[in-house]
């Protein structure tokens, strides 16, 4: 295939470098604005990076040995300051105003969770542009130094026990995912092993890992869906993880969502707290295990949380109890179905939806409930900006971006809206 010489002039939504030849636009992963590169077209407006001919001033030497083979950390070749600048620009463009961005307190070993795929060759991340191949995560700089030892001991244990890795192409085999979760402020570690139907020697595995894991959870996913959770069959230790943010201890069930960069999550919580001020009734939509609800109880006379994961809601209730909080209640259900049934007025509503943003029914309900204040926390400012345009009668009062995921193009954004 013919190689093209491209000057990279921008970044696309997914963080790929964009270059043009005439009116044709090419998106090149691992290429950055300011680069001149050689790339081979691979269809649908994409091109594969072959060589950097002239490097952008923003380029740095990636620290990870797996860079560009592993599908994560696409921006590790960019200086951290440049990553922040590009993320800020994304939000500035979407909201047509100047935006501040809060850098992450840690840019290495900042994640508290990694979902490693298990294959015959390795335990790690799916290779860049490959559905079936796995790049070993030994040496990965995202979770913790201990994760290397966990991967090494796990591979040894699985081999000794002759436990076969799942083959995603043949749709056969046993071991599927190893999910390692850490409480960065509690020092706890929980490991979820996801397999197909069979017998996993969970006690022996816990013995092999020794002090590296406080709890091992074994779960079964026998479906064709390539997901890193399943039906829990057995566990050692407590079977959950605990993390502490801003003085509150959260119990997190094995497969429930929790903020992935806890160092930055503390800053996010502090920011939301300072923006909210005193309110009477607060609704926390998409509340998870009560992360925001419980952090904000001092500011409200009553807090109600809604979340679709019933296990997370059970944990949220328990978390309120464990932290001596008695003005928070939680409802399990989809936001779009539950919101219409919630009684009474709320003077503030916080929403923190998944990447897809708010369901149209949620937007309609927010317009009807019409609280004084809406705080919109989002890991996808594109859907966030769209949703906000559909909210009626609000003005944007404050906006601040947060870098939760260094070395990736993802940016978190919080917006404070006030009723006109």
Q: State how far the alpha carbon of 298 is from the alpha carbons of 38, 99, 303, 326, 347, in Å.
A: 57, 29, 10, 11, 15
Taking contact as CB under 6 A, which single stretch among the options 100-108, 117-125, 284-292, 316-324 is the one that binds ligand SAM?
A: 284-292
Is there a catalytic annotation at residue 379?
yes
Beta carbon nearer to ligand SAM, 39 or 217: 217
Look up residue 369 and give its two tokens.
């409930």
- d(CA 195, CA 18) in angstroms, rounded, equals 40
394 forms part of the interface with ligand SAM (CB under 6 A): no
Q: Which residues pair with 243 in a beta bridge?
A: 250
Residue 330 sits in the site that holds ligand SAM (CB under 6 A):
no
Other Cβ atoms within 10 Å of 410 Cβ, number: 18
Q: Does 307 bind ligand SAM (CB under 6 A)?
A: yes
Q: Does 75 bind ligand SAM (CB under 6 A)?
A: no
Q: Which are the contacts of 304, defined by CB distance < 8 A and separation ≥ 6? A: 281, 282, 283, 284, 293, 328, 329, 330, 331, 342, 346
Residue ranges in 218-257 that form contacts with ligand SAM under rule CB under 6 A: 257
Name the residue with tokens 């429930």: 256
The stretch among 29-37, 42-50, 185-193, 282-290 that binds ligand SAM (CB under 6 A) is 282-290
Q: Of the listed pieces 35-43, 156-164, 321-329, 331-339, which binds ligand SAM according to CB under 6 A?
A: 331-339
Cα–Cα separations (whole angstroms), residue 241 to 191, 254, 311, 405: 9, 7, 13, 21
Compare residues 35 and 284 and give the one whose CB is closer to ligand SAM.
Answer: 284
Q: Which residues contact 278 (CB under 8 A, 6 or more apart)?
A: 299, 300
Verify binding: residue 414, ligand SAM, rule CB under 6 A: no
Tally Cβ neighbours within 10 Å of residue 414: 22
Phi then psi for residue 91, to 5 deg, are -70, -40
Contact between 412 and ligand SAM (CB under 6 A)?
A: no
**Selection from 263, 290, 266 nearest residue 352 by Cα:** 290
- Cα gap 154→157, rounded to integer Å: 5
35 binds ligand SAM (CB under 6 A): no
How many residues bind to ligand SAM according to rule CB under 6 A? 19
Residue from 146, 308, 347, 386 touching ligand SAM (CB under 6 A): that is 308
Q: Does 316 interact with ligand SAM (rule: CB under 6 A)? A: no
Residue 369 Cβ vs ligand SAM, minimum distance, rounded to whole Å: 16
Provide the sign of the torsion angle of the four alpha carbons 313, 317, 323, 326, taken in this order. positive
Binding part of the chain for ligand SAM, among 21-29, 60-68, 349-357, 385-393 by CB under 6 A, reads: 349-357
We find the least distance from the C-beta atom of residue 288 to ligand SAM, in angstroms, to be 3
Q: Least distance in Å: CB of 185 to ligand SAM?
A: 15
Binding mask 352-391 for ligand SAM (x = CB under 6 A): xxx------------------------x------------
Q: What is the contact surface with ligand SAM in residues (CB under 6 A)? A: 257-259, 286-288, 291-292, 307-309, 312, 334-336, 352-354, 379
């Amino acid at each position: 295939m013919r190689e093209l010489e491209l000057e990279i002039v921008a970044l696309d939504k997914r963080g790929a470098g964009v270059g043009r030849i005439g009116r044709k636009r090419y998106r090149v992963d691992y290429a950055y604005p300011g680069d001149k590169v050689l790339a081979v077209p691979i269809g649908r407006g994409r091109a594969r990076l072959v060589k950097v001919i002239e490097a952008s001033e923003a380029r740095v030497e990636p620290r990870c040995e797996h860079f560009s083979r592993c599908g994560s950390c696409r921006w590790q070749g960019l200086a951290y300051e440049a990553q922040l600048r590009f993320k800020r620009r994304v939000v500035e463009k979407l909201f047509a105003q100047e935006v501040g961005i809060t850098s992450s307190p840690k840019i290495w070993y900042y994640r508290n969770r990694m979902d490693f795929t298990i294959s015959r060759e390795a335990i790690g991340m799916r290779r860049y542009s490959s559905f079936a191949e796995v790049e070993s995560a030994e040496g990965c700089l995202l979770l913790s130094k201990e994760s290397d030892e966990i991967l090494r001991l796990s591979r040894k244990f699985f081999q000794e026990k002759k436990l076969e890795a799942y083959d995603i192409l043949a749709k056969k085999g046993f071991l599927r995912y190893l999910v390692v979760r850490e409480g960065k402020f509690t020092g706890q570690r929980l490991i979820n092993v996801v397999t197909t139907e069979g017998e996993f020697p969970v006690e022996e595995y816990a013995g092999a890992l020794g002090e590296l894991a406080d709890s091992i959870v074994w779960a079964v996913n026998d479906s064709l869906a390539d997901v890193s959770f399943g039906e829990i069959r057995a566990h050692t230790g407590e079977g959950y993880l605990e993390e502490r943010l801003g003085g509150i201890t959260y119990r997190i069930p094995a497969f429930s969502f929790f903020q992935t960069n806890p160092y930055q999550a503390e800053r996010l919580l502090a920011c939301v707290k300072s923006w909210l001020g005193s309110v009477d009734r607060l609704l926390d939509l998409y509340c998870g295990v009560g992360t925001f609800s419980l952090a904000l109880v001092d500011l409200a006379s009553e807090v109600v949380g809604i979340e679709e994961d019933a296990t997370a809601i059970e944990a949220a209730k328990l978390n309120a109890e464990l932290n001596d909080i008695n003005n928070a209640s939680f409802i399990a259900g989809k936001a779009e179905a539950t919101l219409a049934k919630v009684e009474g007025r709320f003077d503030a509503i916080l929403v923190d939806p998944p990447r897809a943003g708010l369901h149209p029914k949620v937007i309609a309900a927010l317009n009807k409930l019409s609280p004084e204040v809406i705080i919109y926390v989002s890991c996808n400012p594109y859907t966030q900006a769209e949703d906000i345009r559909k909210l009626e009668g609000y003005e944007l009062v404050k906006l601040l971006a947060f870098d939760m995921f260094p070395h990736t193009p993802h940016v978190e954004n919080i917006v404070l809206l006030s009723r006109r």
